[in-house]
Structure 1
Amino acid sequence: MTHIDLIIIGGGPIGIACGLEAKKNGIEYLIIEKGPIVNSLFNYPINMQFFSSSEKLEIDEIPFISKEAKPKRNEALEYYRRIVTSNDLNINLFEKVTSVKKQEEIFYIETEKEKYTASFVVVATGFYDIPNTIDAPGENLPKVSHYYKDPHFYAKQKLAVVGASNSAVDAALECYRKGAEVTMIVRGPEIGKRVKYWVRPDILNRIEEGSIKVYYNALIKEISPDKISITMPEGDISIPNDYVLALTGYKPNFKFLQEIGIQLSDDHKLYPQYEEESMETNIKNLYLAGVICGGMDTHVWFIENSRIHAKTIIKDISSKTKIP
């Protein structure tokens, strides 16, 4: 069993930032990531463009140069990959952490490949791995996906896009422009207010002209192999359908947090407990970093406003280990 002073669970931008900060402060560390470098970003849609400008996605003051002010997925992958390789960060990829347990002052970490002990642990696992389900019959059919990658697949198909956030709007527009017959199914009365400001007018114009059909105040009643049934205030209707993109958001792995022993709030927000001045949880020497700190409010923390977590955490660890 290998002992590492600090184990960082999650190799996304904030996990990488924690690794950089630990290295600068002389702390022995290991980043463990269940997929490739910045796994969540890798699984974003191919043509995805960030809401944030490139300088707000920078970590450790390393310049992020992009063709446009707001970079795209492939540019972000290149940027974060270069940081990992150029700084020779200690990171294990395609190694999923399955268990974190504390006995006295030592953490025992098990993965699908190895066992470790550590004095400190940072959980920076994000929220992109578990989709919010629509809980309708037929949701598990092969035609239904909670992740969107490439519009080419849906060309000449009858596509239902469930949701009204950035991901749903981007998918609807891209697939429409590649020749899909797109219908949006929106639970609320309008397209989301937080949709990117340069995209929202586009989707509203496509809806107004009839290029993209939309049903507001609608809920999925049932998904069948050749149709989708929805419920609205005025009654139920069925729509011919080939594929469904249920882009209704994602949530952190709360079960994993609870198994570790991290306390969550009693309300539906499920905020994890931590101290803002150190990011330390109710478990001594175990810290949270990044979007996971917001519980179900996954729109509260982003790369740009959670980069500071790395410095905050490593400063606290350094004070405990008396590393200058």
Structure 2
Amino acid sequence: MKDLDVLIIGAGPIGIACALECKKRGWDYTIIEKGALTNSLFNYPLNMTFFSTSEKLEIDDIPFISSNPKPTRNEALEYYRRVSTSNDLNINLYESVIDISKTETTFNIESDKANYKSKKVIIATGFYDIPNLLNVPGEDLPKVFHYYKEAHPFTLQNIAVVGASNSSVDAALEIYRKGGNVSMIVRGDAIGERVKYWVKPDILNRIEEGSITAYFNAEITEIKPTEITINTAEGKKTIPNDYVIALTGYQPNFKFLEKAGIEFSKDGKSIPNYNSKTMESNVEGLYLAGVICGGKETHKWFIENSRIHATMIAEHLAQNI
């Protein structure tokens, strides 16, 4: 049994920022991460470019130097890896938390590798692990992907990209340029408003010229081995299909949070209950940090505007440890 001052769940950028704050104050801490370091960033598309500039992705005032104003996925991985290793942070990777229970003064944390006792717990697990499903027949076929890595496997194939967000648009354009026959299935009537401003004209022009076929106000109703059926404003259509890339967003692990005792808003947004000044949840001593604070509003918090959570938590913890 390991006794800690602070146990941090999640080794993304915000979890790392929390660890840096703990180390500066001399607290006994550990990060537990069920995947790789910055696991969500690792699972981003290989050629992804951030919307944010590099200085807005910095943590603890450690400079992030990139080749261009907007860094790439690989540059971000290198930055957070160097921050973690050069500061010799206590991080346990590929270890999953199974249960969190609270006694009067401490938390008992059980993982698949060890048991811990900690005075405080910070959950900074993000939201990238659980995709929003289409819930249609055939979604379990091996041709359906909820994550996109690179375009090469889809060359000379009929590809349906579901969604109109940044990730969907990036995938559609990259696959088209690598020789795939791309159709976009979009529930709304237009490409998403938050699509990167330097990318949006590109996708609109490709749709207008017919290089990419876009079905707006449309939804997939069935997926079969060689085709998909979609409902459109003009009625039902069946189109040839080899792969479906359903980039319909992701959500936090609400069951894990509920099991830890965290309460949520009842407005359909499932925003967890926390103090916006201290980031402490309704469970005393249990803090939330990063994008997980937005519940289903996964666009509300991201690295550049949630970096401050680490300092806010540390300042409150300093009064209680």
TM-score range, shorter chain: over 0.9
- d(CA) in 2 for partners of 1:276 and 1:27? 23
What amino acid is the match of 2:319? S
Quote the residue 1:11 is aligned against. 11
- d(CA) in 1 for partners of 2:81 and 2:37? 6
What amino acid is the match of 1:112? D
1:267 corresponds to 2:267: yes
SS at match of 1:320: coil
SS at match of 1:19: helix
Task: Note the alpha carbon deviations across 1:263-290, whole angstroms, 9 max, x for none.
Answer: 0111210000000110000000100000
State the 1:215 CA deviation. 0.2
- d(CA) in 1 for partners of 2:198 and 2:140? 34
SS at match of 1:204: helix
Q: TM-score, normalised by structure 1?
A: 0.98
What amino acid is the match of 2:285? N
What amino acid is the match of 1:77? L
State the 1:234 CA deviation. 2.0
SS at match of 2:270: coil
Q: What percentage of residue pairs aligned between the two structures are identical?
A: 64
1:200-219 alignment to 2 at 5 Å? 200-219=200-219
Quote the residue 2:199 is aligned against. 199
What amino acid is the match of 1:311? T
1:304-315 alignment to 2 at 5 Å? 304-315=304-315
Quote the residue 1:182 is aligned against. 182
Stretches of structure 2 that go unaligned for 5 or more consecutive residues are none
1:31-50 alignment to 2 at 5 Å? 31-50=31-50
1:1-324 alignment to 2 at 5 Å? 1-321=1-321
Task: Output the aligned Cα RMSD.
Answer: 0.6
Stretches of structure 1 that go unaligned for 5 or more consecutive residues are none
- d(CA) in 2 for partners of 1:234 and 1:151? 30
State the 1:104 CA deviation. 1.4
- d(CA) in 2 for partners of 1:116 and 1:268? 34
- d(CA) in 1 for partners of 2:111 and 2:70? 36
- d(CA) in 2 for partners of 1:290 and 1:95? 20
SS at match of 2:7: strand
State the 1:4 CA deviation. 1.0
Task: Note the alpha carbon deviations across 1:149-190, whole angstroms, 9 max, x for none.
Answer: 010010010000000000000000000000000000000000
Task: Note the alpha carbon deviations across 1:32-91, whole angstroms, 9 max, x for none.
Answer: 111111010000000000000000000000000001100000000000000000000010
SS at match of 1:182: strand
Return 189-198 or 227-236, whichever deviates more.
Answer: 227-236
Task: Note the alpha carbon deviations across 1:130-158, whole angstroms, 9 max, x for none.
Answer: 00111111111000000000100100100
What amino acid is the match of 1:89? L
- d(CA) in 2 for partners of 1:168 and 1:96? 30
State the 1:305 CA deviation. 0.4
State the 1:219 CA deviation. 0.9
- d(CA) in 1 for partners of 2:61 and 2:198? 28
- d(CA) in 2 for partners of 1:49 and 1:153? 20
Write out the 4+ residue segments of structure 1 that deviate beyond 3 Å after TM superposition.
Answer: none
State the 1:233 CA deviation. 2.5
Task: Note the alpha carbon deviations across 1:197-223, whole angstroms, 9 max, x for none.
Answer: 100110000000100000000011100
SS at match of 1:315: helix
- d(CA) in 2 for partners of 1:99 and 1:153? 39
Task: Note the alpha carbon deviations across 1:221-260, whole angstroms, 9 max, x for none.
Answer: 1000000000112210000000000000001001100010
Task: Note the alpha carbon deviations across 1:93-135, whole angstroms, 9 max, x for none.
Answer: 1101111111211111111111111100000000000001111
- d(CA) in 1 for partners of 2:233 and 2:169? 23
- d(CA) in 1 for partners of 2:193 and 2:233? 22
SS at match of 2:119: strand
- d(CA) in 2 for partners of 1:267 and 1:225? 39
- d(CA) in 1 for partners of 2:236 and 2:12? 43
State the 1:309 CA deviation. 0.3
Return 20-29 or 75-84, whichever deviates more.
Answer: 20-29
What amino acid is the match of 1:200? K
- d(CA) in 1 for partners of 2:315 and 2:6? 13
SS at match of 2:27: coil
